[in-house]
Amino acid sequence: MTQLPILLVDDETGIRTALSIMLIDSGHAVDTAPDVDSALRIFEDKRHPIVITDIKMPGKNGIDLLREVKAMSPTTEVIMITGHGDVDLAIQSLQNKAFDFISKPINEDVLYFALQRAQERINMARELEAHTRNLEELVEIKSTQLIEAERRMAACQLFEGLTSSLSDFTDNMDTLNVFNQMPMFVSIHNTDMDVVSVNEHYRKRLGDLRGKDSWSMYEELEHGPRDCPVAQTLKSGEPGRGNYRVRCVNDNIHSVIVNTIPIMSTEDGVEMVLEFMVDLNEAEQLREELRSTQHKYEQLFDESPCFISVQDTDFCITSTNARYKEQFGDFGGCHCYELLMHRRNICRDCPLEKTFKDGLAHQMETVVTNQKGEKVNVLIWSAPIRDEHGNITQAIEMITDITQIRKLQDRLTSLGLLLGTTAHGIKGLLTGIDGAVYRLGSGLEKRNFERMEDGYNDLQFLTGRVKQTVMDILYYAKNRELNWASVDAGQFSLDLYASFAAKAKSKDITFDLDMGAVLGRFDVDKGILASALGNIIENAIDACTPGKGRVTFKVFGDAKQVAFRIADNGVGMDPETKEKLFTLFFSSKGSTGTGIGLFVANEIVDQHGGTIVVESEQGKGSVFTICIPREISDRL
Q: Cα 145 vs. chain centroid, distance in angstroms? A: 35
**Positions of CATH 3.40.50.2300 in the chain:** 6-106
3-state secondary structure of 596: coil
The pLDDT, as a whole number, for residue 528 is 83
Which of 115-119, 125-129, 566-570 reaches the highest mean pLDDT?
Answer: 566-570
Confidence of residue 568 (pLDDT cuts 50, 70, 90): very high
The pLDDT, as a whole number, for residue 514 is 93
Q: What is the average per-residue pLDDT within 531-557?
A: 91
The pLDDT, as a whole number, for residue 612 is 93
Share of the chain above pLDDT 70, in %: 83
The pLDDT, as a whole number, for residue 94 is 77
- d(C-alpha 409, C-alpha 420), whole Å: 17
Which of 233-247, 261-275, 444-458, 567-581 reaches the highest mean pLDDT?
Answer: 233-247
Beta strands in 322-461 (DSSP E): 362-369, 375-386, 392-401
Asked whether residue 182 carries a pLDDT value surpassing 60, the answer given is yes
The pLDDT, as a whole number, for residue 3 is 84
The pLDDT, as a whole number, for residue 34 is 92
Q: What does CATH list as the number for 6-106?
A: 3.40.50.2300
The pLDDT, as a whole number, for residue 167 is 46
**Positions of CATH 3.30.565.10 in the chain:** 481-635
The pLDDT, as a whole number, for residue 479 is 57
CB 410, CB 377: distance < 8 Å: no
Q: What is the average per-residue pLDDT within 468-496?
A: 76
Residue 186 parent element (H or E): strand 185-190
The pLDDT, as a whole number, for residue 567 is 96
* Per-residue exposure over 5-25, b if at least 16 CB sit within 10 Å of its own CB, e if not: ebbbbbbeeebbeebbebbee
Of 577, 567, 568, 566, the C-alpha closest to 544 is 568
DSSP assignment letter at 340: T
Full DSSP string of 225-260: GGGSHHHHHHHH-S-EEEEEEEE-TTS-EEEEEEEE
The pLDDT, as a whole number, for residue 423 is 60
- Tell me which amino acid residue 493 is: S
Asked whether residue 510 carries a pLDDT value surpassing 70, the answer given is yes
Q: What is the average per-residue pLDDT within 569-578?
A: 85
The pLDDT, as a whole number, for residue 611 is 93
Residue 245 buriedness (CB in 10 A; 0-12 / 13-18 / 19+):
middle
CB 119, CB 1: distance < 8 Å: yes
- d(C-alpha 16, C-alpha 516), whole Å: 64
pLDDT in tens, 53-108: 988 888 888 889 999 999 999 889 999 888 765 667 777 787 788 888 888 888 88
**Domain spanning 304-401: CATH superfamily:** PAS domain (3.30.450.20)
Strands of 253-265's sheet, edge to edge? 195-198, 185-190, 269-279, 253-265, 240-247
Q: What does CATH list as the number for 481-635?
A: 3.30.565.10
Asked whether residue 586 carries a pLDDT value surpassing 60, the answer given is no
Vertex 475, ends 472 and 479: CA angle to 5°? Answer: 165
The pLDDT, as a whole number, for residue 591 is 43
More reliable by pLDDT, 623 or 349 = 623
Secondary structure of 461-517 in HEC code, one letter for each residue: HHHHHHHHHHHHHHHHHCCCCCCCEEEEHHHHHHHHHHHHHHHHHHCCCEEEEEECC
The pLDDT, as a whole number, for residue 5 is 92
The pLDDT, as a whole number, for residue 523 is 92
More reliable by pLDDT, 332 or 567 = 567
Asked whether residue 219 carries a pLDDT value surpassing 70, the answer given is yes
Least confident segment among 122-136, 142-156, 618-632: 142-156
Asked whether residue 424 carries a pLDDT value surpassing 60, the answer given is no
**Positions of CATH 3.30.450.20 in the chain:** 304-401
Q: What is the average per-residue pLDDT within 598-617?
A: 88
β-pair type (253-265, 269-279): antiparallel
The pLDDT, as a whole number, for residue 110 is 83
Asked whether residue 524 carries a pLDDT value surpassing 60, the answer given is yes
- d(C-alpha 238, C-alpha 260), whole Å: 8
Q: Cα 556 vs. chain centroid, distance in angstroms? A: 44
